[in-house]
Amino acid sequence: GENVEQHPSTLSVQEGDSAVIKCTYSDSASNYFPWYKQELGKRPQLIIDIRSNVGEKKDQRIAVTLNKTAKHFSLHITETQPEDSAVYFCAALKGVGGGTSYGKLTFGQGTILTVHP
Amino acid sequence: DTGVSQNPRHKITKRGQNVTFRCDPISEHNRLYWYRQTLGQGPEFLTYFQNEAQLEKSRLLSDRFSAERPKGSFSTLEIQRTEQGDSAMYLCASSLGRGPRDEQYFGPGTRLTVT
């Protein structure tokens, strides 16, 4: 089955700096890669996702890059703010039915991001 | 209803008791997923439904666990003869289930503590 490794497990940055979290996956057939942000005691919230037919996607201060050959993808947060502090999870999915995003998510272990004011 | 809801939010039970959790997905979402999350880990897949059909079950879902979605709307997850190792956050997610885009949106979870 799919295996997702996430690094680093903890990341501490100063406000305004950039933060990068990296994930690798094992199943080359995986085609959908979402990132979730989970604040303490709250539900995981989808913040950005990327599909295997694109290499990069950006949404304001957040961007995700995907390298299918190397089977890794990364989350980039620029101009970090204290409210970005949370646990971030990457995930991978092998869509059933070809080209879809239906199916189970396999999550990484999470990265605790702390942004110091 | 603007999000996935789960009840109860917290459940404390004694070892050996049965517990049942409920998940109400976002309206019109055809797919419903159950995940389990232990402290410091990412969610782990348990099972998922397309309408009322259960399409896949993880090996994590032992015979003490059963999930249903009888009318293709809400779902229940039952754990029989609970064990201390069942203590975790049980998360439900739903997705539209149509078209190529199928983002999963999570509920707040039910935190189970088995004493």
Comparing A52 with A105, the larger pLDDT belongs to: A105
Q: Tokens representing B71?
A: 């009318």
Q: How far is B42 from chain A (nearest CA, A)?
A: 5
Q: Is A7 on the interface with B (CB under 8 A)?
A: no
Could you tell me if A34 and A88 are in contact, meaning their C-beta atoms sit under 8 angstroms apart?
A: no
**Closest by Cβ to A43, choosing from B31, B102, B106:** B106
Q: Is B106 on the interface with A (CB under 8 A)?
A: yes
Partners of residue A42 in chain B, C-beta under 8 Å? 108
List the beta bridge partners of residue B115: none
Q: Compute the C-alpha angle B32/B35/B37, nearest 5°.
A: 155
Could you tell me if B80 and B11 are in contact, meaning their C-beta atoms sit under 8 angstroms apart?
A: no
Q: How far is A10 from chain B (nearest CA, A)?
A: 11
Partners of residue B106 in chain A, C-beta under 8 Å? 36, 43-45
Give the DSSP H or E segment for A90: strand A86-92
* Tens-digit pLDDT profile for residues A6-40: 999 999 999 999 999 999 999 998 989 999 999 99
* Tens-digit pLDDT profile for residues B34-68: 999 999 899 999 999 999 999 989 988 889 999 99
